[in-house]
Amino acid sequence: MGNENPLQAAAGLHDRDESIYEALLTAIVEQQLLPGSKLPEEALAEVFGVSRTGVRKALQRLAAVQMVTLTPKRGAQVASPTVDEAREIFRTRALLEVANLPDVLQRCQPPHLAALEAIIQQEQLAHEAYDGPAAIRHSANFHIQLQAISGNQVLTEMVTRLSQRSSLVIAAWGAPWRQGCRCDDHERLVGLLREKALTALTEALNHHFEHIVASLCFSRTGESVPDFARLFAGYKER
């Protein structure tokens, strides 16, 4: 029962690093850490019960996927998409997701429709409960699962990343309590998918993204220091 196997130790370290990364990513995507929020290594290391090196690895990974900005002498903060970036993110999503619709239609089966309807129901319940993080999570999942029907894993991964960045855009520029997308838009998309109406589905999805961009208010800035102890309470007990 002596010393721990080096491979086991390395695996444990990787798992810990991954859990810190996922915890921070989730908090950013679900808008519990808002754009411009400072992410001091020392405070996060204290909350997660790890060294600053472990936190720095997670922040560097988040910067690589453009969820965090690292600035010399200023440290890390949640990324704040510019107006141009905001427009480009949704324009790119529209290009990708609309172009993939023929493959989605070709492979769509009744179980896929049922799964999408279940997500919409969860999204509606989250809105009724004013559960912002859940509403954002289900809204993004709807788009990801819609595209996943095509079987194109590379495109689905790209949509997943863009959905995460979309959450930053809405957090930075969206109206108060603008969590996720409009449920009725998603219901219409499923209805057209069931009818296999490609032209109408294409128009509806394009309009969906246009409406999101039109609802944004490009006029706010600011930085804040979040309450990490509250956000990540219970992490050390895992």
- CATH number assigned to the domain comprising residue 226: 1.10.10.10
For residues 88 and 75, membership in a common domain is answered with no
Positive/negative CA dihedral, 2, 55, 44, 170:
negative
Contact call for residues 154 and 162 (beta carbons, < 8 A): no
For residues 66 and 92, membership in a common domain is answered with no
Phi, psi of 224 (to 5 degrees): -150, 160
For residues 30 and 68, membership in a common domain is answered with yes
For residues 120 and 65, membership in a common domain is answered with no
Distances (CA, A) of 235 to 42, 46, 50, 170, 232: 16, 11, 11, 27, 6
Whether the pLDDT of residue 81 is over 60: the answer is: yes
> Over the stretch 14-34, which tens digit does the pLDDT of each residue have?
688 899 999 999 999 988 999
For residues 207 and 89, membership in a common domain is answered with yes
> Is residue 1 in a domain?
no
Kindly report the CATH number assigned to the domain that includes residue 94: 1.20.120.530
Question: pLDDT-based confidence at 1, cuts 50/70/90?
Answer: very low
Question: pLDDT-based confidence at 130, cuts 50/70/90?
Answer: confident
For residues 37 and 155, membership in a common domain is answered with no
For residues 209 and 229, membership in a common domain is answered with no
> Is residue 197 in a domain?
yes
Whether the pLDDT of residue 125 is over 80: the answer is: yes
Nearest to 193 by CA among 107, 92, 124: 107
> Over the stretch 136-165, which tens digit does the pLDDT of each residue have?
899 999 999 999 999 999 999 999 999 999
For residues 138 and 49, membership in a common domain is answered with no
Q: How many domains does the chain have?
A: 2
Print the domain residue range for 73: 6-80+221-237
For residues 130 and 31, membership in a common domain is answered with no
For residues 126 and 199, membership in a common domain is answered with yes
> Is residue 203 in a domain?
yes
Q: What is the pTM of this model?
A: 0.82
- What average pLDDT score do residues 128-132 get? 88
Contact call for residues 183 and 141 (beta carbons, < 8 A): no
- Cα–Cα dist 172/160, whole Å: 19
- What average pLDDT score do residues 183-189 get? 89
> Is residue 166 in a domain?
yes
Task: Compute how many other C-beta atoms are within 10 angstroms of the C-beta atom of residue 1.
Answer: 3
For residues 187 and 98, membership in a common domain is answered with yes
For residues 74 and 99, membership in a common domain is answered with no
> Is residue 193 in a domain?
yes
> Is residue 231 in a domain?
yes
> Is residue 157 in a domain?
yes
> Is residue 127 in a domain?
yes
